[in-house]
Amino acid sequence: MPDESNGSRSENRVDQRGPHNDAVAPRDLKVRLKEQRLIIEWKDGTQSEYSLDELRRRCPCAACKTERSQQADNPLQILKFNPTDVRVTSASLVGHYAIQFVWSDGHNTGIFDFRFLRSLETVSDRDKDK
């Protein structure tokens, strides 16, 4: 007999992610290594451009989140990771939901979910406000 509690838990997990949303689904994605830019054309027709340097400062991996939290608690703390002058050397898709970068300092644990990227203010958004 199937365990109904496990089935409902799985269904809840799917429901929490929400239905497919074209606003967070890329139609086209380009990583421009020379310019250190990520350009995403979303399925809803919107285009976003991200500075890879800024994405590194917002890296969602546990180590970077912990360091940012410690820095906020103690602004005089010496940073372990200094993303200054670090460049993306390669990138790869993670399933159909994210992109992962490899940085020149060897860092590669940040997985940038498309929902996270879509939530960020982009270069082109800032330019529109000027």
Q: What percent of the chain has pLDDT over 90?
A: 54
How many structural domains comprise the chain? Answer: 1
pTM value is: 0.72
So what's the pLDDT on residue 69? 86
Range 19-43 average pLDDT: 89
Contact 91, 100 (CB under 8 A): yes
Confidence of residue 20 (pLDDT cuts 50, 70, 90): low
Q: How many CA atoms lie within 13 A of 31 on its CB side?
A: 16
- Residue 60 is part of a domain; what is its CATH number? 3.30.2020.30
> What range does the domain containing 34 cover?
4-129
Our measurement of the distance from residue 76's CA atom to the centroid of its chain's CA atoms, rounded to an integer in Å, reads 27
Contacts of 32 (CB under 8 A, 6+ apart): 38, 39
